[in-house]
A and B are shown apart, each in its own frame.
Chain A
C-alpha cells in the first residue's frame, strides 16, 4: 500500500520566529492522524501549510492523485490546487462560518461544491443535498434555510456535509468540535467516526482535546514550539507518553 500523503520537512517561519519546522510523516489510506499541542504550538500553522492555505518556507506535501499519481501539491499550479481542494481534499474549519457561505441556503451550500465539479442537474443536486442533510441529521425541511438560522452544532454538521458530498479522500479538520457543548460534540464525533469508516477517508485532525483524539485518531503527533516532539499509536502516546511535554499534557487532563 502506498501512502496517500507524504510530508517531507515542512517549514514555516513568521519572520524569524518558527511557525513549524522539520515536520515529516506518511499518511496511509483510511488512517486518521491527530495533531495535538497547546495553543501556539504550531499545529494549526502546520495544517494550513499542508492544505495549501499558507505558503511554506520549504518542504514537500506529496499527494497520491487519482489520475497522475504522487505529486508535490506545493509546486502545483493554483488552478490545479484549487481543483484538488474541491474534489479529493476537504477542509473543516473550527468556526463553521469560515467554511460556509452564510448568505446561501443549506441546500445551496452543499450543492455549490457539486456544481464546482461539474454537476448541472438541479434535481440531482437537490436530491444529493437532502441526502447529505439526512446523513448529518439535519431535517429535510431546513434545506432552504440559511445557516444563519442554524445552531452552532447544526452549522458544523452542515459544514461537514458540504465538505464530504464530493467524496474526498483526505479531510483536514481544525478543532472540529471546539466551541461546541459536550452533548453536541459527542454527536459530531459519532457522526465523523461513522463517515470515516463508511467512506474510507483519511483525515488529519488538529485539536487540543485529548478525549477527541482518543476516540477518533489512529495515530498522534504531539507538537511544541513548532517542533514535533512525539509520534505514535494514539493509545500508546496517551497511556505511555515518552516526552516530557507529552507527559505534562496527558497528566494535566482532568478526569471525569
Chain B
C-alpha cells in the first residue's frame, strides 16, 4: 500500500437540525461545526455520552440524514450535497456501514445476504459465495444455517451475519456502529481482527465502540462528539 496523505473522509463544519412539523414545528439543533478527517488505514473512534450525537454523525456521513450545512467529502463526493444516485454509487463501491440492525428481504438465504454487496458490484456469483462462506465460518455461523433466511436467527447470530455482510466487499471507507457489542470473546477477537485487516489494506474507518478494550486495540485516535453540541442548546 502506498502512503496517501489526503484524507479518505473529510468532514467540514457540518450542522444538523431537526424540524418537527407535527409537534408545533419545534426546531431541534443537534449538531454544529462537526469537523474531522480520517486518512486511509486509520481508525477513528467516536466517543461521548449517550445522546451526544455519535450515531447522528454516522447517519449524516452515510447520507441517511440530511446535513443542514457543511461538507462531507468521501472519496471526492460531497454527501451533504449529492444526488441520490451518486450516494447509492458511493455506498456500492466506496462506503460501507455496519449498523446495529440487520435489515433484509425475507426469504433470502444467509449466504446470499452476505454475498449481496459483492454481487452488486458485479463479482461472479461463485466467487461472492465463497467469500461469504469464509466470513460466515470465521464468525462461527454453523453451516447448516447458511441456506436459511437470517430473519429467524437469534440477535447475536443476526449481528454476526450483519458484520460478515459489512466486510464482504473491501470498502475504502467504513462506518462501524458497535460492531463488538454483545459478542462472546472468540467472535469479538474475530471482528477486531477483521477491522485490523481492513486497516492494513488501507480502509479509513470511523467506529463507535462502547467496549473500551476493543476501542483501545483498534482505534488510532478518538474524537469526542460532545465538542460538536450546538452552543445555543448547551
Question: Which residues on A are within 8 Å of B, measured CB to CB?
Answer: 28, 31, 186-187, 189-190, 193, 197, 214-215, 218-219, 232-236, 239-240, 242-244, 247-248, 251
Contact = CB atoms under 8 A, between A and B. Distances in A.
A236 B136 CA distance: 30
A240 B21 contact: no
A247 B22 contact: yes
Interface in B102-131: 103, 105-108, 119-120
B115 to A, nearest CB: 12
A31 B86 CA distance: 11
A239 B22 CA distance: 16
Contacts of A214: 103
B65 interface: yes
Contacts, number: 56
Contact of B85 (A31, A193, A242): A31
Nearest first, the 10 closest Cβ-Cβ pairs linking A and B are: A244-B21, A186-B106, A233-B84, A219-B84, A239-B64, A240-B65, A235-B64, A190-B107, A190-B105, A186-B107
Interface centre among B19, B20, B63, B84, by most chain A C-beta atoms within 10 angstroms, is: B84
Interface string B55-68: 00001001111100
Contact of B105 (A186, A244, A248): A186
B108 to A, nearest CB: 6
Contacts of B103: 214
Contacts of B119: 197
Contact size range, B: 20 to 34
Contacts of A239: 59, 64-65
B105 A233 contact: no
Contacts of B59: 239-240
A242 B66 contact: yes
A240 B20 CA distance: 10
A247 B21 CA distance: 7
A248 B22 contact: yes
A189 B104 CA distance: 11
B104 to A, nearest CB: 9
B120 A233 contact: no
Nearest to B104: A215
Contacts of A244: 21-22
7 contacts: A233-B88, A235-B62, A236-B66, A240-B64, A242-B19, A247-B21, A248-B22
